[in-house]
């Protein structure tokens, strides 16, 4: 049977049209409303000339309108590209230039950026999901009423791409990970079954919509006919407000990156036996420090705690580990566990042979979540999507995650680190090379290197920049930050800076990054022991 993501909505709207699908800022959107609004918008997109396989860029903040646009794009047989609306124009422009959208959907608050962005997507027309008076557009919200709300037939196949998610790229340009309907459906099928997600569930929508974690929230909710609580990004600034929200909304499932859970733990906002409705707490995207996990498990003993793991390239998550008992020690290591249904995780040595127990190797993933590859980048796709040496099927592939791992005597997989310079900071996946590439684009920079330093605080890794100005250039960290803010999103901008006459080199003539890391660490230690400045 040919199943597509939009079919999940059609079925839930048929079953329980009046149930709330989305709750956002006190407003509820029912399944019937989401279904009908997305049908109207899909017809408007087709009317505008969009055909199967066209890309629809979404310059829309997290909102019911953004989700309507996602389903509409799928119903029109198109591929949606969710954009980070707080990213600088230059970076969004590179994404648009790469995905060549047929259309850009925006709202009044993001419309000012359209003027500059259009130059990067000369073939694209624009439309508005609200009224945005004065902004030029092919259609706006009030025009949508003239399109039919009845079910719309789509031609797309489950092997068609559903969305492209752009992540940080080491050479400076963000890379687009193509995800198919089938990729997402396989994970959703497994997750709905494993977690027992049902119509009565109230599910958090914490990650931003350009993060692949959000696709679990959206399609998991809609598959089960449950209720998705979209959380405004600014709520994360105030942990007590976030806790109040979970309590008042009686959320049954929480899913986020660990850093926000850590932030709530440190702020002391989780009370004993708090969140009585919460049945499961899931995290993904990076390691949840064990002391933070213990804090949560002691206070919310009635919830099921599950660690999910997986890069965007293998769709949402590929492995899971249910933490059945509260760890006894703060140094206990939490595994990423074993494969989710239909997934394959391998720890291999350099010759692609299985690494013996407890021996560190490269982590590879195969199976149903595997992306077809990077958008219009066969070379980069070939580098990391390899032929599966253990399969008789010549089309079977495995993805080299770049993560280092070992298999424990318990048969579970433990993450050890990275084999490259990709880092995770507050859940964001960042290629340090992308930051360096942006630095080298600044006039007056002779040399620059970016390293990540573990701080031990809840912020996790700090991004540190060592730079060498050209003679005659006065480059303060403040000025460099300003320059970078035009090229990079704020979470990629280094928080620590050090000026050098020349960067330290190792014996091979390469930048001695471990030395730089030590230097930044020493500086942090000195600042702490020296007290306030």
Q: How far apart are CA 190 and CA 124, in angstroms?
A: 37
Strands 373-374, 175-180: pairing kind: antiparallel
Distance CA 173, CA 306 (A): 33
Cβ(178)–Cβ(374) below 8 Å:
yes
Within positions 104 to 133, which residues make up the interface with another protein, using CB under 8 A?
Answer: 109
- 521 is written with which tokens? 């660490």
Per-residue tokens: 208? 């931003």
Strand partners, 29: 22
Judged by CB under 8 A, the chain residues 63 through 92 that form the site for another protein are 85-86
Q: Whose Cβ is closer to another protein: residue 1's or residue 443's? A: 443
Site for another protein in 233-252 (CB under 8 A): 233-241
Which of these ranges, 31-39, 119-127, 190-198, 482-490, lies near another protein under the rule CB under 8 A? 482-490
Q: Does 459 bind another protein (CB under 8 A)?
A: yes
Q: Tell me which residue of 517, 427, 533, 429 sits closest to 466, measured CA to CA.
A: 517
Out of 426, 434, 448, 513, the only residue in the binding site for another protein (CB under 8 A) is 426
Cα 492 → chain centroid: 14
**In the complex with another protein, which residue's Cβ is closer, 25 or 331?**
25
- Using the contact rule CB under 8 A, the part of the chain among 136-144, 174-182, 323-331, 487-495 near another protein is 487-495
| Interaction mask 381-420, another protein, x per CB under 8 A | ----------------------------------------
Q: How far is the CB of 180 from another protein (least distance, A)?
A: 30
Does 482 engage in binding with another protein (CB under 8 A)? yes
181 vs 426, which CB is nearer to another protein?
426
* Site for another protein, residues 30 to 69, rule: CB under 8 A: 61
Instruction: Show the beta-strand stretches assigned E in 152-276.
Output: 161-167, 175-180, 202-205, 227-230, 253-256
Q: How many residues bind another protein (CB under 8 A)?
A: 31
Is residue 429 a contact residue for another protein (CB under 8 A)?
A: no
Any contact of residue 481 with another protein (CB under 8 A)?
yes
Task: Establish if 490 lies at the interface with another protein (CB under 8 A).
Answer: yes
CB 485 within 8 A of CB 509: no
Complete edge-to-edge strand list for the sheet that includes strand 20-24: 27-30, 20-24, 227-230, 202-205, 253-256, 280-283, 304-309, 319-323, 338-339
C-beta closer to another protein: residue 330 or 459: 459
- Does 267 help bind another protein (rule: CB under 8 A)? yes
Residue whose C-alpha is closest to residue 157's, from 179, 177, 181, 188 = 181
Q: Does 478 bind another protein (CB under 8 A)?
A: yes
Which candidate, 465, 488, 486, 462, places its Cα nearest to that of 477? 465
Query: For residue 331, is it left (φ>0), alpha (ψ between -120 and 50) or beta?
Result: alpha
Nearer to another protein, 153 or 234 (CB): 234
Nearest distance, CB of residue 351 and another protein, angstroms:
43
How far is 501 from 467, CA to CA, in rounded Å? 8
The region of 36-44, 116-124, 136-144, 488-496 touching another protein under the rule CB under 8 A is 488-496
Least Cβ distance, residue 404 to another protein (angstroms): 27
Q: Count other C-beta atoms under 10 Å from residue 401's C-beta.
A: 23
Q: How far is the CB of 80 from another protein (least distance, A)?
A: 21
Q: How far is the CB of 1 from another protein (least distance, A)?
A: 42
User: Nearest distance from residue 269's CB to another protein, in Å?
Assistant: 7
Binding window for another protein (CB under 8 A); candidates: 30-38, 90-98, 270-278, 476-484: 476-484
- For another protein, give the closer residue by CB, 113 or 317: 113
Q: 137 or 465, CB closer to another protein?
A: 465
Are residues 58 and 83 in contact, defined by beta-carbon separation less than 8 angstroms? yes
Each as own residue / partner, the long-range contacts of residues 28-31 (CB below 8 Å, 24 or more positions apart, any chain) are 29/64, 31/225
Binding region for another protein (CB under 8 A): 61, 85-86, 109, 232-241, 260, 263, 267, 269, 426, 458-459, 477-478, 481-482, 485, 489-491, 495, 497
């Amino acid at each position: 049977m040919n199943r597509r993501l939009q079919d999940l909505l059609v079925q839930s709207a048929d079953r329980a049209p009046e149930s709330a699908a989305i709750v956002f800022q006190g407003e509820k959107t029912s399944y019937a409303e989401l279904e009908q609004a997305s049908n109207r918008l899909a017809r408007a997109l087709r009317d505008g000339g969009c055909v199967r396989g066209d890309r629809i860029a979404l310059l829309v903040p997290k909102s019911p309108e953004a989700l309507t646009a996602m389903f509409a794009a799928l119903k029109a047989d198109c591929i949606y590209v969710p954009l980070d609306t707080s990213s600088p124009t230059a970076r969004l422009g590179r994404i648009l230039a790469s995905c060549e959208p047929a259309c850009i959907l925006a709202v009044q608050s993001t419309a000012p950026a359209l003027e500059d962005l259009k130059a990067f997507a000369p073939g694209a027309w624009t439309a508005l999901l609200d009224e945005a008076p004065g902004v030029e557009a092919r259609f706006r919200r009030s025009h949508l009423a003239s399109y039919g709300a009845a079910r719309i037939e789509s031609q797309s196949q489950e092997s068609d791409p559903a969305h492209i998610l752009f992540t940080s790229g080491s050479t400076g340009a963000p890379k687009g990970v193509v995800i198919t309907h089938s990729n997402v459906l396989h994970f959703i099928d497994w997750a709905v079954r494993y977690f027992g997600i049902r119509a009565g569930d109230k599910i958090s929508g914490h990650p931003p919509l350009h993060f692949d974690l959000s696709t679990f929230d959206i399609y998991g909710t809609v598959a089960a006919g449950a209720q998705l609580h979209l959380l405004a990004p600014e709520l994360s600034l105030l942990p007590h407000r976030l806790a109040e929200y979970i309590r008042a909304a009686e959320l049954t499932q929480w899913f986020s990156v660990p850093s926000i859970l850590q932030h709530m733990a440190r702020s002391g906002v989780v009370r004993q036996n708090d969140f009585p409705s919460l049945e499961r707490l899931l995290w993904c995207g990076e390691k949840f420090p064990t002391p933070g996990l213990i804090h949560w498990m002691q206070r919310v003993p009635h919830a099921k705690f599950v660690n999910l793991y997986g890069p965007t390239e293998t769709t949402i998550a590929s492995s899971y580990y249910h933490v059945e008992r509260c760890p006894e020690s703060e140094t206990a290591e939490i595994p990423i566990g074993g494969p989710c249904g239909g997934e394959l995780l391998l720890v291999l040595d350099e010759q692609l042979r299985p690494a013996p127990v407890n021996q560190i190797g490269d982590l590879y993933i195969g199976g149903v979540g595997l992306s077809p590859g990077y958008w219009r980048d066969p070379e980069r796709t070939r580098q990391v999507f390899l032929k599966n040496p253990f399969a008789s099927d010549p089309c079977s592939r495995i993805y080299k995650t770049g993560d280092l791992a070992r298999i424990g005597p318990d048969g579970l997989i433990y993450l050890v680190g990275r084999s490259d310079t990709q880092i995770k900071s507050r859940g964001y996946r960042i290629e340090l090379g992308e930051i360096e590439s942006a630095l080298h684009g600044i006039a007056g920079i002779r040399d620059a290197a970016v390293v990540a330093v573990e701080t031990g605080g809840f912020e996790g890794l700090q991004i540190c920049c060592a730079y060498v100005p050209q003679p005659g250039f006065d480059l303060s960290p403040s000025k460099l930050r300003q320059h970078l803010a035009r090229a990079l999103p704020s979470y990629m901008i280094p928080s620590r800076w050090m000026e050098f006459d020349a960067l330290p080199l190792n014996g091979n003539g390469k930048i001695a990054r471990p030395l730089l890391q030590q230097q930044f660490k020493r500086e942090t230690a000195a600042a702490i022991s020296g007290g306030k400045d």
